[in-house]
Amino acid sequence: MTNFTNFADLASFIAASRDNDDASRNYGAAFIEHSEMAKLSIVEAPEALDMPDPEQVRAAVDMMMQTMFDVLRDTRMEAYAADLAWGFANSFHVVAKRIEGREDDAAKALGELARHYDPSEIYATELEDTQLLCQTLQGCREAMECMRDHAAEAYRVETGKPFSPVKGSRVSSALSASMIDARDYLAGRARTRREQFAPDGPVVIFSGGQVWEDHDLLYKGLDRIKTRIPEMILATTAQAKGCDAIAHAWAAARGVKVIQFRLDRSQGNRAAFVRNDRLVNLKPVEAVICEGSGIQMNLAQKLRQAGVPLHVVKLDQQRPAPHSSQRMARRG
């Protein structure tokens, strides 16, 4: 067994042995420096700070999650390992949301500046600083989300359960270069947000009941679909546990975009059926419906009527959940 005394050596070993690993690609894409300078507060001056090395961060998350299970395994505290690991993954989620809130505030300030153009040098400096703050926060959020997804996948592998948290512009001669950059940034950010609700890509619908144990069955089925449709976008009925939660964990591990269709409570008792209609209106290329309630049956019927290729997964197709020792043998 190879021993390491620092993260740099461990990261180099991982990089050499897992060049084609999805996690490496995800970290490489998330830990991008959008600018040579960084700005984490509107009152602080920009600094020449680098992003952390993505492979070292990946190794740190791996080590943190795995060590917690290893040191408690076969002890009287083994039952608490999953709770502690969930807390680690959730802490990444909470911090990512906190960064996102600051990013939203900075983007609003940038929008206000962009709408009230002033040719002064003071205005140009403030605009550039606010844009740099937005870009820095965006990069930090994306990196934190990548760490969260990695920790969530480690949690799933160890526990057999998916992690679920607590809940270019046309140039006007009157505009400076700073103003053009700011508008481009806001436009790009708006496009990213819009794509969450109006995706550009083949949609695969997924829905199922809130009681489900065999996550491997669903993972393998979704993997087969992704092999056929690499650019797929997953649209779900947004339930926090059961089949939908497993599908969300799969999407996070595979880097698949997810659209969560929550209930529109203004529709009263019809809310679930209205949601089903909206899902069918996405014109999906394929669908997976797991046995659940009459809501899933209604959605399956509407998809079949629309001619959508449909995979129905029944409750009795599940295998019993493996014990922790079996999961360890599979990891080894």
Helices 7-17/54-72 angle, 10° precision: 100
Q: What is the pLDDT of residue 193?
A: 64
| pLDDT band, residue 289 (cuts 50/70/90) | very high
Q: Are 285 and 203 in contact (CB under 8 A)?
A: yes
pLDDT of residue 268: 86
- Cα(233)–Cα(285) distance, integer angstroms: 10
Q: Torsions phi, psi of 221, nearest 5?
A: -65, -45
DSSP state for residue 276 in the 8-state scheme: H
Cα separation, 115 vs 24, whole angstroms? 40
Mean pLDDT, range 196-217, rounded to an integer? 84
Could you give the CA distance from residue 252 to residue 146 in angstroms, rounded to a whole number?
A: 9
Cα angle 203-165-185, degrees, rounded to a multiple of 5: 60
**pLDDT per position as a tens digit, 103-152:** 888 888 888 887 777 788 888 888 888 888 888 898 899 899 989 988 99
List of domains in the chain: 7-195 (no CATH), 203-331 (3.40.50)
273 C-beta neighbours (distance < 10 Å), count: 15
pLDDT in the model for residue 218: 94
Whether the predicted pLDDT of 269 surpasses 90: no
What is d(CA 272, CA 283) in angstroms, rounded to the nearest whole number?
Answer: 18
Is residue 247 within 8 A of residue 218, CB to CB? The reply is yes
pTM: 0.57
Query: Mean pLDDT throughout 223-238?
Result: 92
pLDDT average, residue stretch 34-52: 73
Rounded-to-integer distance, Cα 269 and Cα 263, Å: 10
Cα 253 off chain centre by:
8
Q: Mind listing the pLDDT tens digit for each residue in 70-111? A: 999 999 999 999 999 999 999 999 999 999 899 888 888 888
